[in-house]
Amino acid sequence: MENHEQTSFRFEIDNFSEKRDVISPNFISGGCEWFVRVWQIEDHLAVTLSVPNIESLRHGWERRAKYSFIVLNQSGKELGRTLEAEGLFCFELLDWCHPKVMPMTKLQEGCLENNKLIIEVQVKVVEVVHEGGVTTEKEMFNIEGFDVLYTQVEELEEHVKNLKLELDNEKTKSSNASDRVLLLEKEVSDLKIELDKERSAKSPISKVALLKDAADSFWNTTNLGIRQRRAGYQKVDSKRFLSCPRTG
């Protein structure tokens, strides 16, 4: 299906100043369902064209459309509009947004009548692929060069989803285990430092003991020197005694 006629849909919002986020009823354009979301982003009016009921669409569905928005008051006076844009809508991209259609201050300066805002969206569907419809069990889809039954596609998608959840869980466990190991290493390091402090505090080798050991070492060294000198004196005296002439 290509080059459908452009269609328009008007979404009337009563008591607009009391609403910050509203969604329109679904409407049909180009044989496809759509809806409009009107909301505020910071101080600007934002409008979005979206695809509803995606669960009823076939696997691999896509649609391409041109669209634009017009902002009107109750009398039909145009307050603002967007340029025509073209977007691809698919399972991964369900909507297209215009975040700054017009400043909210402009709507608060008496432009609205009876606090009523009208959004008109003009949609022209350019191309549709695998749009909604009845899918038979024998219908085949080509995925990465392989022909797969539609029922198998759903099973594969569910299996992939479960595998992704398991992978995320394993990543979380691995991260937690790594954090736990780092925490235990820190605890062991802190305990080792505390143990070394305790050993130092309770050690019998105090400053007094160290001074005593130094004094004993000095005393032993001094005594050794005295003994060595005495031994030297004795040797000298013996030599002198032996060298003296004997009488008698």
Q: Give CA–CA dist 59/141, Å, rounded.
A: 8
Which residues in the chain show pLDDT less than 50? 1, 134-137, 205, 236, 241-242, 244, 247-248
* Confidence (pLDDT) at 119: 96
Asked if 25 and 9 touch (Cβ cutoff 8 Å), the reply is no
* Confidence (pLDDT) at 1: 46
| Amino acid identity, position 44 | H
CA dist 129 to 60, 87, 89, 152, 202, Å?
8, 14, 10, 20, 83
* Confidence (pLDDT) at 236: 46
Q: Give CA–CA dist 114/116, Å, rounded.
A: 5
Q: Give CA–CA dist 188/32, Å, rounded.
A: 65
- Give the H or E element holding residue 53: none
Q: List the structure tokens of 34.
A: 């759509």
